[in-house]
Amino acid sequence: MPPPTTLVWFRQDLRLTDHPALHEAVKRGGPIVPVFIWSMEESGGWPRGAASRWWLHQSLLSLSKDLEARGSRLILRQGPAREQLQALAEESQASLVVWNRVYEPAHVLRDKEIMQRCEANGLEVRCFPGSLLHEPWEVQTAQGNPYQVFTPFWKACLQRPAPGPVLKAPTTWPTPSSWPQSCSLPDLQLEPSIPWADGFRTAWQPGEAGARQRLQTFLDGPIESYLEDRNRPGLMGTSRLSPHLHCGEISPRQIWHAITVTRAGKPAAWQQQADGFLREVYWREFAYHLLHHFPRTIDQPLREAFQRFPWRHDPRLLKAWQRGNTGYPIVDAGLRELWHTGWMHNRVRMIAASFLVKHLLIPWQEGARWFWDTLVDADLANNTLGWQWTAGCGADAAPYFRIFNPILQGKKFDPKGAYVKRWVPELARLPLAWLHEPWAAPKDILREAGVQIGQTYPAPVVDHAQARQAALAAFASLGS
């Protein structure tokens, strides 16, 4: 009797290397049917934004080609996963479906239900950890509680057994005698109908090969000065792995091993820089830990007191922020970079987010939604942690008095103005001394640079000092 067929359900693990579910299917020995299912309606209120869909399209294309190069193919389907899996199992006579876990609350519920139904219908299910270094429930305090502070969480992670070896990409495996039906990639309509993705194409190479290359490029250079350069948006000082990680084109375990192997024999100074980078990978772990234990935080503050924060609802100000027209160059540069490339440098994410929440007093949920809709790396765990942290209502939150001064931040982290000049070109001829506060420049300097405040570049939508005082007062109102 020939070994039975296995369905490998790809989700946020669009890779062949270090893919536990695929590994298991190959080990089993029978024919393998790789499948991806597109179902917007199962997003739990967080449907992928256009940027993220663009990335997914490219990533699926890449995975498809990689599978074809191994004599296999990727079956694409649309509709509720439960129905599609059931139909696929019948069409391909599969007796087992395998997948790697995801952690978004809505998807956890869905997967649980699918597992029960499959097993009730005689279809075996096995799921595997593949997207994190540690499962969210494996790390806990001495009392058995979840962590809410990063440093002890991180230390606890380091006490755990080291991540296992990276699983090699299988080179070949049996294919079914006939393939089940598949739609075409364009059928999924993931790509935008308007051509704004041109800017994306030059900035990114989605897919497993692109992810590996991005990691290598980072290890070959930027990592050695990571701790300093990571804060300079005008440089290529960060790894830019976030969208690749989100789609699972590379696993954190691959990153961990790449660093750990390279680390040996390097000077202490290098190791320190590399550890700083790995620490950021553990922030991602922490975000998933929190998402798992506090699923409501995707739209509600972790700290209850913030339910009564006096937020302001001002669509006009929100729009100015979204479009990068706040009149604060470093903030506007960030939001424009986001719009054009689907990504924003981390330092600028903090500045821009702080500005929305503390200068404009607009609810952090509005910012989280905008980032979700526009980022190629939109990730529910990371996005939630980041925004709650900024707003001061989350884990390890920023103290209320930590209000970023967009002028100082600009001068400090974009000292040569490279970043602002690139994304806010209408200020490019302004002398560096005024670049981060153009409204304060003398009239003749502005004229010389071809800048008219309120005409060619917006006047500041709020005054920094006033906004700061208002924010302090608003935060103080929580205390009493």
Interface contacts to DNA, rule CB under 7 A: 141-143, 145-153, 155-156, 231, 280, 283, 303, 346-347, 350, 386, 389, 396, 398-405, 408-409, 412, 464-465, 468, 476, 479
Contact 193, 335 (CB under 8 A): no
Q: How far is the CB of 155 from DNA (least distance, A)?
A: 7
Sorted by sequence, the CB contacts under 8 Å of residue 291 that are 6+ apart come out as 103, 104, 105, 136, 297, 298, 380, 381, 384, 385
Q: How many residues make up the chain in this entry?
A: 480
- Considering the candidates 321, 364, 389, 434, report the single residue annotated as catalytic: 364
Whether residue 184 contacts residue 72, with contact meaning beta carbons closer than 8 Å, is answered with no
Active-site residue among 42, 280, 325, 439? Answer: 280
- Catalytic annotation on 100? no
346 a catalytic residue: yes
- Measure the CA–CA gap between 349 and 371, rounded to whole angstroms: 9
Compute the least distance from the CB of residue 393 to DNA, in Å: 11
Cβ distance to DNA smaller for residue 391 or 441: 391
- The least distance separating DNA from the CB of residue 441, rounded to whole angstroms, comes to 19
Which residue of the set 283, 325, 339, 439 is catalytic? 283
Nearer to DNA, 50 or 357 (CB): 357
Q: How far, in Å, CA of 214 to CA of 450, rounded?
A: 39
Round to whole Å and give the CA distance between 459 and 457.
Answer: 7
| Least Å from the CB of residue 399 to DNA | 3
Q: Which of 168, 167, 180 is nearest to 72 (CA)?
A: 180
Tokens standing for residue 340: 């054009």
**255: Cβ–Cβ under 8 A, 6 or more apart, which residues?**
215, 241, 278, 281
In the complex with DNA, the residue whose CB is nearer, 173 or 218, is: 218
Catalytic residue among 179, 256, 270, 311: 311
Q: Which is nearer to DNA, 78 or 469 (CB)?
A: 469
Q: Is 283 tagged catalytic? A: yes
Distance separating alpha carbons of residues 182 and 448, to the nearest angstrom = 61
Give yes or no: 270 in active site.
Answer: no
CB of 180 to DNA, least distance (A): 43
- Looking at the Cβ atoms of 117 and 468, the one nearer to DNA is 468
Q: In 233-314, which residue ranges form alpha helices assigned H by DSSP?
A: 242-247, 252-263, 268-293
Residue 269 CB, nearest approach to DNA (Å): 19
Active site residue 196: no
∠ CA 32-56-368, nearest 5°, is 130
CB of 112 to DNA, least distance (A): 26
Q: Which is nearer to DNA, 186 or 479 (CB)?
A: 479
Question: Is 389 tagged catalytic?
Answer: no
Task: Please choose, from the candidates 158, 195, 176, 193, the residue with its C-alpha nearest in 3D space to the C-alpha of residue 90.
Answer: 176
Q: Name the residue nearer to DNA (CB basis): 57 or 358.
A: 358
Which amino acid makes up residue 259? Answer: I
Annotated catalytic residue, options 387, 389, 423, 434 = 387
Contact 97, 89 (CB under 8 A): yes
384: region left, alpha or beta (phi > 0 left; psi from -120 to 50 alpha): alpha
Q: Give me the active site residues, please.
A: 280, 283, 311, 346, 364, 387
